[in-house]
């Protein structure tokens, strides 16, 4: 007795006819009749009463079909789940990110993915850049969302994602707080507070790229503080801070946010997704394609 035989029994019981079951499976009626007779011979009891009007279950057949239907349904469910898993529509993906990415474009993309693929579990890991890359390389993390340009991690595959405006956080009484836009030269001579945590090192590089000169280096103070604590220090007059656009929603901390421009317009920060080229998780491909569509 194999699964095909059980399907013939279940279909014949449902349709009340061997001919209808044969039509359902696109086989000849004698094949269905023969396979069901083999099952009956193996069990030693008749499952159907045959007549010219069709086939009706015997009492033994009614009891048998209950379990047979459950087995067929279970196998079909398992098959569907296995196919969905192989197609990347079912399973689990581990996504690493900076704490500063807990809002903004990443959150929007994540919410959209979860709505589109409810049977895929997304496990989030919030950790510094060096641990993100180590996790991706070891396979503990499927993909990392980080600040930077494609190719930042040479041994990993990557794609460019969204970008955010760079804003400067100023105390409410700062000399530049009344302006709608701040230009880089206007920030010379300021004291910048950055977090030791990511993306603090990236912010430091941006500062040096835009303000450092042979005879002029910006004053940059690194603190082991969260983004919110850095902004509280800004409000207390301890300095100013460059932030991603997603920080603008933190308006109750006594600071104002203004976009930073250069000669070409707003300064933007780009994000990338990176992953190990030989990662075999089919769900990763689904997640990356979903991110690609949102660019």
CATH class for the domain made up of 91-161+270-293: alpha beta
What angle, 0 to 180 degrees and rounded to 10, lies between the N-to-C axes of helices 282-293 and 105-116?
A: 120
Predicted pLDDT of residue 162 = 86
Residue showing tokens 């069990």: 43
Q: What CA–CA distance (Å, rounded) separates 241 from 253?
A: 13
Predicted pLDDT of residue 177 = 94
Predicted pLDDT of residue 88 = 66
Overall pTM surpassing 0.85 (yes/no) = no
Predicted pLDDT of residue 90 = 80
> How many Cβ atoms from other residues are within 10 Å of residue 283's Cβ?
23
CATH class for the domain made up of 164-268: alpha beta
Predicted pLDDT of residue 169 = 95
Domain boundaries, the chain: 3-86, 91-161+270-293, 164-268
CATH of 3-86, one of 1.10.10.10, 1.20.1250.20, 1.10.150.300, 3.30.420.40: 1.10.10.10
CA distances from 129 to 135, 241, 249 (A): 10, 20, 24
Give the pLDDT of the chain (295 residues) as one tens digit per residue. 788 999 999 999 999 999 999 999 999 999 999 999 999 999 999 999 998 888 999 999 999 999 999 998 888 877 767 776 766 678 899 999 886 565 577 888 899 999 999 989 999 998 888 899 999 999 999 999 998 888 888 899 999 998 888 999 999 999 999 999 999 999 999 999 998 888 888 899 899 989 987 777 889 999 999 888 999 999 999 999 998 887 776 666 789 999 999 888 999 888 899 999 999 898 999 999 999 887 7
Q: What CA–CA distance (Å, rounded) separates 77 from 83?
A: 10
Same fold, 91-161+270-293 and 164-268: yes
CB 143 within 8 A of CB 274: yes
């Amino acid at each position: 007795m194999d699964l095909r035989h059980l399907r013939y029994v279940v279909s014949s019981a449902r349709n009340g006819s061997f001919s209808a079951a044969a039509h359902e499976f696109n086989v000849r009626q004698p094949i269905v009749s023969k396979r069901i007779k083999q099952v009956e011979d193996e069990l030693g009891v008749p499952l159907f009463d045959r007549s010219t009007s069709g086939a009706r279950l015997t009492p033994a057949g009614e009891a048998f079909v209950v379990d047979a239907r459950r087995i067929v349904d279970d196998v079909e469910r398992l098959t569907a789940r296995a196919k969905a898993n192989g197609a990347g529509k079912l399973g689990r993906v581990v996504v690493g990110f900076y704490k500063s990415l807990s809002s903004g474009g990443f959150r929007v993309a994540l919410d959209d993915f979860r709505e589109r693929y409810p049977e895929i579990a997304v496990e989030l890991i919030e950790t510094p850049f060096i641990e993100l890359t180590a996790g991706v390389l070891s396979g503990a993390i499927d993909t990392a969302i980080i600040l930077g340009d494609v190719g930042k991690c040479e041994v990993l595959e990557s794609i460019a994602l969204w970008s955010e405006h760079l804003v400067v956080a100023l105390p409410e009484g700062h000399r530049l707080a009344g302006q709608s836009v701040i230009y880089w030269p206007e920030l010379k001579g300021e004291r910048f507070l950055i977090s030791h945590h990511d993306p603090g090192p990236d912010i430091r590089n941006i500062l040096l790229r835009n303000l450092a000169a042979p005879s002029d280096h910006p004053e940059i103070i690194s603190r082991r503080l969260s983004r919110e604590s850095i902004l509280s220090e800004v409000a207390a007059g301890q300095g100013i801070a460059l932030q991603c656009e997603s920080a603008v929603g933190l308006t109750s901390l006594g600071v104002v946010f203004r976009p930073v421009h250069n000669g070409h317009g707003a300064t933007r920060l780009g994000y990338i997704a990176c992953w190990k080229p030989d990662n075999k998780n089919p769900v990763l491909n689904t997640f990356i394609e979903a991110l690609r569509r949102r660019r």
